[in-house]
Amino acid sequence: MKKLIAFDLDGTLAESKQPLPDMMGNAIADLLAVAHVAVISGGDWPQFNQQIVSRLPARTDLSKLWLMPTTGTKLYRFEAGWKQIYAELFDDGQKQAIFAAFDASLAATGFIPAQTWGERIEDRGSQITFSALGQQAPLEAKSVWDPDFAKRKIIQADLGKRLPGLSINLGGATSIDITREGVDKAYALKKLRDHSGIALDSMMFIGDAIFPGGNDYPAKQLGLDTVRVRDPEETLSVIATIIACQK
C-alpha cells in the first residue's frame, strides 16, 4: 500500500506537451480517491495547467494533488484555487551563462536540425529548458528526432563540461533541462516528502525515463519503488493495477 503515487508528465501521462486524454484524466481522478498523487516534470505552470488541470473531471479530489513544475523547483497546491507554495529561481547572470553554453554546445556537437518551430530555449525561472525542434514542434517531428536519447546524451555530456555545478537532465521527446546542482526528480521527491509529511518509502514513482541519464532515474537512485512505462497507454494499465491493490 502506497500513500502517494508520483508521475512524470510527458511520455508518461500524456504525449509530449499534449493534454491528458479523457481516459487519463479519469484515471487520475480514480487514483486520487485512494491515494495522494504528484506530478513532477520539467514544464512550467502554464503547461501543467493546460495539460493536467484543465483535463481533470469535476469529481477530482484536488486537495490530494501535488503539482511540481520545473523539476520540483516550484510547488502548486489547490486551496480555493491553485496557489504557488514556493519557487526557487535562477538569477540573471546564471541564466545568461546557460544560454551561452547552449549556443556553444550546439555548435560544437553539430545537432542543428533543418527546421524548428518556435523558440528552442525557454526560461522557466527556476529551470532553463532546451527543446531541439522548438517549443511548438509537432509531435510527429519530435517523436523521430531522438527516440533513443542518443543525440541528447552527446549534448548533455558537452554541456556538463561547460556548466559545472549545474544539473543537466534529459526529458520529454526533445528536451534537456538545466537546474541548480542537485535539482532532479530525487530533489523534488524529498521536497514533496517535506511538504506533504509522507515518507519516501510510502511513495511510488512512475515514469518513462527511468534509466541512467534519464530525468526520471534519480527517483530510482533515491530508493523509491519505481515503474518504468513505455507510454501513457501502459501508464493507464499501471494505474488500474494500483487502484485494484489499494482498495
Q: Is the pLDDT of residue 45 over 80?
A: yes
With pLDDT > 70 as the criterion, what percentage of the chain qualifies? 100
pLDDT at position 238 is 98
Grid cell, residue 200, equals: 519516501
Question: Mean pLDDT for the chain?
Answer: 94
Residues 177, 127: contact at Cβ < 8 Å? yes
Q: What is the average per-residue pLDDT within 18-43?
A: 96
pLDDT-derived band at 143 (thresholds 50, 70, 90) equals very high
Q: Is the pLDDT of residue 223 over 80?
A: yes
Band of residue 87 on the pLDDT scale cut at 50, 70, 90:
very high
pLDDT for the residue numbered 51: 97
Contacts with 220 (C-beta within 8 Å, 6 or more apart), sequence order: 205, 210, 226
**Which residue, among 157, 151, 160, 190, has the nearest Cα to 71 in the 3D structure?**
190
Q: Is the pLDDT of residue 201 over 90?
A: yes
pLDDT at 228 (0 to 100):
97
**Predicted pLDDT of residue 216:** 94
Residue 214 has pLDDT above 90, yes or no: no
pLDDT digits (tens, 9 = 90+) for 154-195: 999 999 999 999 989 888 889 999 988 888 999 999 999 999
> Residues 6 or more apart from 243 whose CB is under 8 A from it?
30, 31, 34
Amino acid 183: pLDDT: 87
d(C-alpha 247, C-alpha 244), whole Å: 6
pLDDT over 90, % of the chain: 81
Grid cell listed for 89: 529561481
Quickly list DSSP for 44-101: -HHHHHHHTGGGS-TT--GGGEEEEHHHHTEEEEESSSEEEEEE----HHHHHHHHHH
- pLDDT, residue 213, reads 80
CA angle 131, 7, 125 (to 5 degrees): 45
- Strand, coil or helix: what is 106? helix
Instruction: Tell me how far apart the alpha carbons of residues 38 and 72 are, in angstroms, rounded to a whole number.
Output: 10
Helix (H) or strand (E) holding 3: none
Residues 207, 219: contact at Cβ < 8 Å?
yes
pTM over 0.85? The answer is no
Cα 82 versus chain centre, distance: 19
